[in-house]
Amino acid sequence: SDFRNNCCRSWTRTIESLGDGMNKDDLQRYFVAGSQDFPTLTLSEYEAKIVAMMQTGITAYQFREKGAGLTDSATRFALARRLQAAAKAANVRFFIDDDVDLALAIGADGIHVGQDDRDIRTVIAETPPEMIVGLSVRNVDEMQAAQAVAGLDYLGVGPIFATTTKADAADPLGLAGLTTVLAHNEHHLPTVGIGGISLATLPALARTGLDGVAVVSLLSQAPDATTVVQEMTRLWGMAE
């Protein structure tokens, strides 16, 4: 677009700024969801559910929209804008999954990309320095490669445990595998763990050195999400 062509070439990030734009506390209770994670709800009910989730004490929300009912770009844009406003009102960081154009259009707090999405260096080149950029890493090789990427703000590490919310998920790392991958985070980039996370595993995860956890079903399927978030906070704090 003209917007990109006119300004983005002048945006620069340096290796020294790795992780600088990221407050690690923002990763502590990171909720990831889209309409596909609430299959029994209408789109308006789903939106109300996410807006309510902003008030539970989560620290970040990632708009990861894979639902068949939200393929129209104008509808996605309008919904993302409304959810972004709800996040801002609740002091929750608002991330977009993969869609750089949408993240730029609404001025999201951040963008998160996977290894199989758009090339991470391209994403960094296309986004302003103040936009947080996160990347998924699944193993030691990907963790090591991420250390050389200038302008990267945080890493999503996993899946740690088996997950049903991502059909193409890699094999789970387990706690031992997670510890090994984290040992190669030489630049000490902020890290958030993801994949099959339960309340029972939180204390052990906190002790690995992760800065937080990203969850889907733990909250999307919770009868009372506020209570779960409070318990997440308590259990995480026990390990500090």
- CA 84 to each of CA 39, 75, 179: distance values in angstroms, whole numbers, following the listed order: 22, 14, 34
**Beta carbons of 36 and 72 less than 8 angstroms apart:** no
Pick the catalytic residue: 13, 29, 35, 64?
64
| Token reading at 160 | 């740690």
Reduced to 3 states (helix: H, G, I; strand: E, B; else coil), residue 33 is: strand
Pick the catalytic residue: 76, 93, 136, 220?
136
Q: Could you confirm whether 73 is annotated as catalytic?
A: no
Closest CA to 32 of 67, 58, 6, 14: 58
The number of angstroms, rounded, from the C-alpha of 64 to the middle of its chain's C-alpha atoms is 9
| CA separation for the pair 97, 13 (Å, rounded) | 21
Q: Could you confirm whether 64 is annotated as catalytic?
A: yes
Pick the catalytic residue: 24, 66, 118, 166?
166
Q: Could you confirm whether 136 is annotated as catalytic?
A: yes
In which element (H, E) is residue 174 found?
A: helix 174-182
Q: Which residues are catalytic?
A: 64, 136, 166
